[in-house]
Amino acid sequence: MTIVAELPAIIQGGMGVGVSGWQLARAVSRAGQLGVVSGTALDVVLARRLQDGDRDGESDHDLCRALAHFPDQAMAQRVLDRYFLPEGRSAGRPYRRVPKLTLQQSREGLELTVVANFV
């Protein structure tokens, strides 16, 4: 039996998490095409959003809810301990650096990457 698949006329990509919303990819998908949101630098996105804090009690609701469901709660807690600033960064204060991905990745970097991809 031969399966013939119709190729999409539109492949929307290049819009990454933290750059564009999922709404564009959803609209393309609902039109029967292929909508994509890239997962590039998810470790950086998670670390920065955690450092932006939760001043109004709402901004990190989804992040914290996802982290509460991560299978390894000790790992999730280490990420929170390292990056989460409940009141957010002070004005002008830079973000805490995220370990760069290398062939000899640090435990901290691996954990942040794994947790960020789950979230």
38-67 pLDDT per residue, tens: 888 999 999 999 999 865 555 556 888 899
pLDDT at 10 (0 to 100):
78
Q: What token pair was written down for 55?
A: 């001043």
Query: At how many degrees (to 10) do helices 42-51 and 73-83 cross?
Result: 60
Q: Which residues of the chain carry a pLDDT beneath 50?
A: none
pLDDT at 14 (0 to 100):
60
Euclidean distance between CA atoms 90 and 48, whole angstroms:
13
3-state secondary structure (DSSP) of residue 82? helix
CB atoms within 10 A of CB 67: 21
pLDDT at 7 (0 to 100):
81
Euclidean distance between CA atoms 77 and 64, whole angstroms:
10
* Distances from the Cα of 26 to the Cα of 12, 22, 39, angstroms: 10, 6, 15
pLDDT at 116 (0 to 100):
95
